[in-house]
Structure formats: C-alpha cells, structure tokens
Amino acid sequence: MSVSRRFVLAATLALVAVLVPALRAQAPDAKGHGAFATGKYRNLFAEAGHSQKEIQAKIDAAYQQLFHGDPQTQSIGFAAGKNADGPLMYVTDWNNHDVRTEGMSYGMMIAVQLDKKSDFDAIWNWAKTYMYISDPKAPSYQYFAWSCKYDGAHNSEGAAPDGESYFAMALLFAANRWGNGQGIYNYQAEADKLLSAMVHRAVISAPSKFGTHTVGPMMNANPPEILFVPDISPQMFTDPSYHLPAFYELWARWGPKEDRAFWVKAAETSRKFFPKTVNAQTGLAPVYANFDGTPHKNGFVQSNEFGYDAWRTASNWSVDWSWWRKEPVEQELSDRIQAFFEGQGIDKYGPVYSLDGKDMGATPGLTHEDHPAGLVGTNAVAGLAATNEERARKFTDALWNTSIPDGRGRYYDGMLYLMSMMHVSGNFRIWAPK
C-alpha cells in the first residue's frame, strides 16, 4: 500500500471514530434522548400524512363531545353548581352511575394538557370537596374515596392509587403551566402533600360505615412498587397498568425532596417489572400481578387475564420510552403486543384475552364493545416505542378512523380514546417548571 493510500485510510478511520459515536448519540433510540431531553414529541398522525389542522380538529371534537356534549348520549363531564372555592364539575362513569377518582384524575390530566383551566379547577374542586378524606382518624385519611354518588356521598372510602397518581401528576403540570393560586389551587402544595402520603402515610386501622379497614401507604417499600389498593392484607399485590415510570421520573425531580431517590428506584423497578409481567409470546399483561410480575388470581373475573385495566399497560411503557428512552426492552414489548393484535385482526380484536392469547370475549357488565375504542387507542400509543413502523402505522390509522365513543360505554373508552389521541399526536407533554 502506498504512503498516500495509507494516509487516506488512516484519515478515514479517524473520521469514522469521531462520527460514529456522534451519530449513535443522535439515533432515535439513543439512551436518555427522549422528549424530556429534546423537547420533541413524535406525532404519529402527522407521520401518517394528516395535517396539523385535521389533527387538532379531531382532538377538539373529542374534548367537546366528552366534556360538553349531549348529556344523555355523549358527555361524561357535568357541571355541578358552585361553592366557596368556585365552580364544581364531575366526570361520571355513565354505565355505573358513579364518579371515580380514575375518571376525575384523567379529566384533570386532559384539561391541563389541552389548556382548559376552568374545567381543571372545577373538577379538582369537586374532588377535594366530596372525594377527599380529611378526617385524621379515617383509614383512608389524605386519600380520595375511589367511588362517589353524584351528590358526593361515598360508595366506598377505599382508595385506588391510579387516581392519586394522575391527580399528583396533573397538579404538578398545572403548577408548572399556569402557576399556583391560593388554597386548593396551590397546585404544587396539593401535589406535594399527596405524593408524601403515597409514600409515608402511617398505617391507620379504624371502623367506618363500610367496616373496619387497615390502610397504609400506596407504595410498597421493597420492592418499590405501587399497590393495587393501600389496604393492609396478608397478600398484597400490584396492578401492572398502575405502573407509571414516566411520571416517577418527574416526581424524582419536582416532588418532595426527601422522596426523590425513592421515585428514581420506583421508576427503575417498574421498567424491570414490565418484561416480567407480560407474556413472552403475546405481550399481554394481566389485570393484577404479584410484585415479581406473575399473575395474581383472585375473585375478580379478569384478575389473571388481559382485561380492561390491562389495556393501559402498553401505553405506560411506550410513553416511558417516548419521554425517557432508558429501557430499550420497552420497544420489544411494543413490537410484541402489536404483532399479537395484528394477528387477531387489526379491526376486529376483542377486549379480553388469556395471557397466552385466547379470545375470552367481552365480560358482561364490564366491557360493552366487541372491539373497544379504548384498546384501539392504547395499542396505537404502543407505536411510540415500536420499531416495526409499517405495522405501527396500521394501529395509528385504526385509531384515526375510530369514532369518538358515545352511549353506554363512553366513559372508559372515551377517556382512553382521547388520551391516546393526545399521546399519538404529540399533545400529551411534560410541562416543566418555567
């Protein structure tokens, strides 16, 4: 080899040595280069050829219908008068005729993301007025009664940690986006109190009109995982769809300082939990699981199956990948679950499956559609992490072509449909301190 050729080869190798690491650092799947770091959110609808005007019109129409539409056939949001803190509004599970912390906290999250401050404040006011348990002697003190009647009377004084999780995150986003007000509208202070209770709430055992209950923190200490319910029992367990590592990362930055290391560990634990709890072939997660990820079977009909709670699990790991890009296995999980549902028929798969993929059909009284819009939505969100773009596009198109849920089942399907539309379009974002 001539001197000149050796010089060119050496120079080329040196250039490659410099460029390759730089290119890898900018790659779409580069560790740590998610939306939190870049401020950039994928818009799968735009990637599929839809204009921003069309996309915004879809989201606006869904919000208008679900929160301010026809009260008998469309809306799940209802104005409920005023009190000393201002207007009141509740979000109802129309089929079950109650108000749930799940829907109230989802409603607040949707409102802060879409800059609907008046609705946000009215929903929060109703939750604090009627759902919040302020009696220091009550077992669920500092939590929210998970189910109430329309007049605010409690159907239960038990708490459901998915509601508290979304309340806390929505409040922090509100503090960062709009600034804090006074009283219950000091969003940061309200979020801090709730996050602290989730980790440190003392165990309280006391009688109530619903019987004697013993309730402690919402987070298991070791491993640091969220509980299905904070009621103390010999066999406590978790719900895979309650695991929100994307939120935990933010609480580790903006929440109470003494718990920030805890939330870092909780995020790491949830990321390791996801591949343990989903089926190795189908990617389906159970409704309930033990802390090691194995299915938890109890008296609930869907407990160890892929049921309506579990629809959300793929969305949770996919948003975590989109925002943080810390655990590449989340991409494998999205590819796995999208491959399974593609095999079931992109426009006809059902709502409930055994973990190994047997179609169990709709559960009477719980799911109302053979091909539910909520699951169409969460499967589309999985496309934020999927590597098979051609297949992911099919799920994006399926969500785009799905009508806004109405009628009897419009509550759960509607909530997941709208939040999925927001995730897929890049309109569900991290609102950081200014």
CA–CA gap between residue 237 and residue 192 (Å, rounded): 25
Neighbours of 369 (CB within 10 A): 17
Helix axes 260-277, 245-254, angle to 10 degrees: 170
- CA distances for 14 relative to 21, 25, 91, angstroms: 12, 18, 61
Catalytic residue of the set 93, 98, 102, 225: 102
CA–CA gap between residue 318 and residue 420 (Å, rounded): 11
How many residues can be counted in the chain? 434
CA–CA gap between residue 361 and residue 365 (Å, rounded): 12
CA end-to-end distance (rounded Å), the chain:
60
CA–CA gap between residue 35 and residue 320 (Å, rounded): 10
Q: Are 375 and 384 in contact (CB under 8 A)?
A: no
CA–CA gap between residue 104 and residue 402 (Å, rounded): 24
* Residue 309 among the catalytic residues: yes
CA–CA gap between residue 422 and residue 42 (Å, rounded): 11
Structure tokens at 151: 């007049």
* Residue 102 among the catalytic residues: yes
Helix axes 101-113, 117-126, angle to 10 degrees: 160
Q: Are 112 and 170 in contact (CB under 8 A)?
A: yes
Q: What is the dihedral of CA 360, 364, 366, 369, to 10 degrees?
A: 70
Q: Are 89 and 78 in contact (CB under 8 A)?
A: yes
Number of H helices, E strands in the chain: 15, 6
Catalytic residue of the set 225, 305, 309, 397: 309
Q: Hey, which residues are catalytic here?
A: 102, 309
